[in-house]
Amino acid sequence: MSISRLFAIIKKEFTQIKRDKPSLVISIVMPLAMLFLFGYAVSTEVDHIPMAVFDQSKTQESRDFINAYRNSLYFNPDYYVDNIDELNNLLDTGIVKAGLIIPPDFSQYKNKMTNVLLKIDGSDPTTARTALSSGIMVSQHFSNKNTEEELSKKGMHIPNIGIDLSTKVEYNPDLNTLTFTIPGLLGLVMQNITIILTAFALVREKEKGTMEQLIVTPIKSVELMIGKLIPYILIGYTDFLMVLALSIYWFCVPVNGSIFLLLLLGFDFIICALAIGMLISTAAKTQTQAMQGAFMVLLPTIILSGFIFPREQMPSVIRAISDVIPLTYFLDILRGIIIKGVNANLLLNQIIVMTSMGFALLLIAVLRFRKRLD
C-alpha cells in the first residue's frame, strides 16, 4: 500500500467535499439541525396545559381549588367560561386541552361527596395522560389536605396506619426528557451523517464516470477504499465530538461515566455506520439511488433502535428486527455511559455485539467493493 497514493485520494476527497454544497450541508448543518430540532421539539414533557374552568360555585373554596391546579404547574387555568357549551367549544377548537367543571355546591366538599368533572382532550395521548394523572393527583391532594384539617378541627384524627410509598428516581431524578433524548441523538447523528456521506462518496465516482479513469491506474482497491473512507471517518467523528460538546455545554447533559470509553466506543460505532454506507454504495448506481437506500436503512433504525419508542414495549417480531440494528446497541452504550455512568463491564454484551456487527458488515462491504466495473 502506498501512503502517497492514500494521501492523494484523501486530499482530493476533501477538496471535493469543500466544493460540494450538499456534502457540506450534510456534514455541518445536518448534525446541528438534528440536535436542536430533536433537543427542543421532541421534548415529551408536558406542562402548562391550557385549561378552561366553568366555576359554578364562585366561592373561596372553588378559587383555592383552581389555584391548586395552577400551582401544580401542569395546568394553566386561564379560560373562565359561563356555561358548558363554551367549555366544550374551547375543547373542540383545541384552544384548551382540559376543562374543569366545578358544581354550584362545591364549597360543601368537606361535608359531603362532591363531584368535580375534569374533561380532557384525548387526541394527543401524551398530553392527555399527563393531564389525567396530574389532575387526579392535584384534586386528591387538595381533598385529603383540607378534609384532614376539617376532621382535626372537629377533634377527630386519622390514625397513622396504611402504606406510605416513598419513591426515589435513579440516574435522571428530574425525569428530564433531554437527559434521555440527547445521548440517543449523539448516536443517531453520527450514524446518519456517516452512512449518507459514505454512500454518496463511493457512488459519486461510479455515477460521474470518474471510476473508469481510476480503474486503469495502478491504484489498488484497498488504497482507493481506505483513502475514500478516511475523510468520512474524520467527518463523522468530528460531528460526534461537536454534538457531544453541545450536549454537555449547551443542553447541560453531563457525561457521568468515562469519557474515554465513550470516545473509544464512538469510533467503534463509526466503523459500523461506514460499513453500512459502503454496502449501500455497492448496491446503488446513482447518488439518487444511494439516497433512497440510505433512507430505507435510516428510517427503521430511528424508529426501532429505541431512540424514540422504548424497545421493551415492542412486539417480539419487531423487537427481533431491532436486535440486528447496530444503533440499538450503541444507544444502550451511550445512555449507559452518559446517564447512568456505568463502566465497560456492565455494557460488555452490547460492546461485543456492536463490535462483531461492525467487523462482519465491514468484511461483507469490502468483499463487495470491487475495483472492476462488471
Give the footprint of other proteins on this chain (CB under 8 A).
2, 4-5, 7-9, 11-12, 15-16, 19-20, 208-219, 372-374
CB of 204 to other proteins, least distance (A): 10
Of 24 and 324, CB closest to other proteins = 24
- Residue among 134, 66, 79 nearest 106 (CA): 66
Residue type, 95: I
Sequence-separated (6 or more) residues with CB below 8 Å from residue 183: 247, 253, 331, 334, 335, 338, 339
What size, in residues, is the chain? 374
CB of 223 to other proteins, least distance (A): 9
Phi, psi of 110 (to 5 degrees): -75, -15
DSSP annotation of 111 reads T
Cα–Cα distance for residue pair 73/28, rounded to 1 Å: 38
Q: Which element (helix H / strand E) includes 187?
A: helix 177-208
Of 86 and 205, CB closest to other proteins = 205
DSSP annotation of 174 reads T
Of 312 and 374, CB closest to other proteins = 374
- Residue among 354, 292, 303, 248 nearest 240 (CA): 248
CB of 220 to other proteins, least distance (A): 8
Of 52 and 224, CB closest to other proteins = 224
Of 12 and 48, CB closest to other proteins = 12
CB-CB neighbours of 90 under 10 Å:
21
CB of 222 to other proteins, least distance (A): 13
CB of 19 to other proteins, least distance (A): 5
Of 217 and 313, CB closest to other proteins = 217
Helix (H, G, I), strand (E, B) or coil at 100: strand
- In terms of C-beta density within 10 A (0-12 exposed, 13-18 middle, 19 or more buried), how is residue 230 classed? middle
Of 2 and 292, CB closest to other proteins = 2
Question: Nearest 10 degrees: CA dihedral of 280, 281, 284, 285?
Answer: 180
> How many H-runs (helices) and E-runs (strands) does the chain carry?
14, 4
CB of 373 to other proteins, least distance (A): 6
Of 227 and 236, CB closest to other proteins = 227
CB of 206 to other proteins, least distance (A): 11
Of 8 and 255, CB closest to other proteins = 8
CB of 1 to other proteins, least distance (A): 12
Residue type, 160: N
CB of 364 to other proteins, least distance (A): 22
Please give the C-alpha separations between residue 153 and each of 148, 150, 158, 202, in angstroms, as whole numbers.
Answer: 8, 5, 12, 81
Question: Nearest 10 degrees: CA dihedral of 38, 288, 209, 19?
Answer: -30
CB of 338 to other proteins, least distance (A): 39
Of 2 and 111, CB closest to other proteins = 2
